[in-house]
Amino acid sequence: MAFISSGYNPEKPMENRISDIGPQHFTEFLQPVIKKNFGKWVYHEILEPGVLKHVAESGDAVYTVRCGTARLMSVTHIREICDIADQWCDGYLRFTTRNNIEFMVEDEGKAKDLKKFLNDQKFPGGSFKFPVGGTGAGVSNIVHTQGWVHCHTPATDASGTVKATMDAVFDQFTDMKLPAPVRISMACCLNMCGAVHCSDIAILGIHRKPPIIDHKYLDNLCEIPLAVAACPTGAVRPSKVEVDGKDYKTVAIKEERCMFCGNCYTMCPSLPLADKEGDGIALMVGGKVSNRITKPAFSKVVVPFLPNNTPRWPEMTDVIKRILTAYSEGANKYERLGDWATRIGWERFFEVCDLEFSEHLIDDFRDPAYYTWRQTTQFKW
């Protein structure tokens, strides 16, 4: 393969360098009706799952068709998206904050034809390429992370857990039959790149074994004070060991204080902790970011561990479906999952979702833990 230069000259790297130009201005990309009615919208309607109508003061309307994506996508797929946008939408499209695609047209009939067309496109393996949905009181796309596709600190895979979950709840993506939207998010370690700490349902990769210490290399590869400072529970301290008759500067980890967060590994390559049997996922529920009726809330851990049963994580999808069903049957209209659980009481939540409550679910992290215990005699039998 022959090297093809872009025009960059490695001999004179700073020559002709353009920097600090940022992204392009978004108005370069606005579809004409959107541009014309910018800031002048008066109302919207969800015509059917995946199809929105926005009406402007001028009387103009724009119809949006929303469809799901795997987020991880090839240029072949992006070009196919472009083909659709060229054919139906004069070459305009957008992506949402949950990584869905939105195609905008100016005619209701066309929107419905486009929905049908999108729903007809399939991969050779049989999955939909562009399933239409994700609007209103249903389950939209899962905000997720890198997993085993690209990151070095995951305790599980992102793309796989997400595909397994979306397959299991697919009918909620294409319909709007829940009490309120349910946002599902996924992060493959507790850095929580994304929205795991603030979602109705969250899938989180966790470890259960302390790091293995690569004593012989640690001092060469790591800034020891940074690894020490990385530990939320103060389990890491500097130390010295003798290996094969040689002294090494290294760290010691108090195993009974380690809760396997992996942050010391983030800071120090000589402290890996991934492990097939130890690693798996925790499930959290009840978070939200909107200010509607109740305040934004953190998601809470309700299942401390489920195994990484690749490639489809059946234990995980089973619990998620159970929680969704109990919520759907029990919650009032407009009530988000966390609001419902708070109203009925968490002791009741565990009962109706048929989940086991164990000591792992009781907070023991510093001062704030106290505020999560029950300082009242109000409880249900």
Distance CA 340, CA 140 (A): 19
The continuous run of DSSP H or E covering 168 comes out as helix 158-168
Among 30, 46, 47, 193, binds ligand HEM (CB under 6 A): 193
Q: From other proteins, ligand SF4, ligand HEM, none, which one binds at residue 45 (CB under 5 to 8 Å depending on kind)?
A: other proteins
Stretch of 20-28, 93-101, 169-177, 201-209 lying at the interface with ligand HEM (CB under 6 A): 93-101
8 A C-beta contact, residue 166 and residue 154:
no
Contact map string, positions 276 to 295, toward ligand SF4, x by CB under 6 A: --------------------
Among 107, 116, 232, 257, binds other proteins (CB under 8 A): 232
Residue 135 contacts ligand SF4 per CB under 6 A: no
Surface-to-core class of residue 222, CB atoms within 10 Å of its CB (0-12 exposed, 13-18 middle, 19+ buried) = buried
Residue 258 contacts ligand SF4 per CB under 6 A: yes
Distance CA 275, CA 148 (A): 13
Stretch of 135-143, 248-256, 343-351, 353-361 lying at the interface with other proteins (CB under 8 A): 135-143
Residues 178-207 that bind ligand SF4 (CB under 6 A): 187-189, 191-193
CA atoms in the 13 A half-sphere facing the CB of 323: 32
Residues 246-305 that bind other proteins (CB under 8 A): 261, 263, 265-266, 269, 272, 274-277, 279, 287, 289-294, 296, 298
- Nearer CB in complex with ligand SF4: 71/110: 71
- Nearer CB in complex with other proteins: 109/126: 126
Q: From other proteins, ligand HEM, ligand SF4, none, which one binds at residue 140 (CB under 5 to 8 Å depending on kind)?
A: ligand HEM
Residue 138 contacts ligand HEM per CB under 6 A: no
Q: From ligand HEM, ligand SF4, other proteins, none, which one binds at residue 4 (CB under 5 to 8 Å depending on kind)?
A: other proteins
Beta carbons within 10 angstroms of residue 77's beta carbon: 15
Q: Which residue shows structure tokens 């795991």?
A: 196
Residue 231 contacts ligand SF4 per CB under 6 A: yes
Residue 259 contacts ligand SF4 per CB under 6 A: yes
Distance CA 166, CA 242 (A): 51
The residues pairing with 56 across neighbouring beta strands, listed in sequence order, are 41
Residue 135 contacts other proteins per CB under 8 A: yes
8 A C-beta contact, residue 267 and residue 305:
no
Helix (H, G, I), strand (E, B) or coil at 96: coil
365 token code pair: 């992290």
The arrangement of strands across the sheet holding 101-105 comes to 41-48, 51-56, 61-67, 101-105
8 A C-beta contact, residue 251 and residue 224:
yes
Among 6, 16, 97, 375, binds ligand HEM (CB under 6 A): 97
Contact map string, positions 147 to 186, toward other proteins, x by CB under 8 A: xxxxxxxx--x-xx--xx-xx--x--x-xxxxx-x-----
8 A C-beta contact, residue 139 and residue 99:
no
Among 11, 59, 97, 374, binds other proteins (CB under 8 A): 97
Checking 41-48 for CB contacts under 8 A at 24+ apart, the result is 46/135, 46/136, 46/176, 47/108, 47/111, 48/112, 48/115
Contact map string, positions 292 to 331, toward ligand HEM, x by CB under 6 A: x---------------------------------------
The arrangement of strands across the sheet holding 280-285 comes to 184-187, 201-206, 280-285, 300-307
Q: Which residues bind ligand SF4 (CB under 6 A)?
A: 145-146, 151, 153-154, 187-189, 191-193, 210-211, 230-231, 233, 235-236, 253, 258-264
Q: Which residues bind ligand HEM (CB under 6 A)?
A: 44, 96-98, 100, 134, 140-141, 143, 146, 151-153, 183, 191-195, 266, 289-290, 292
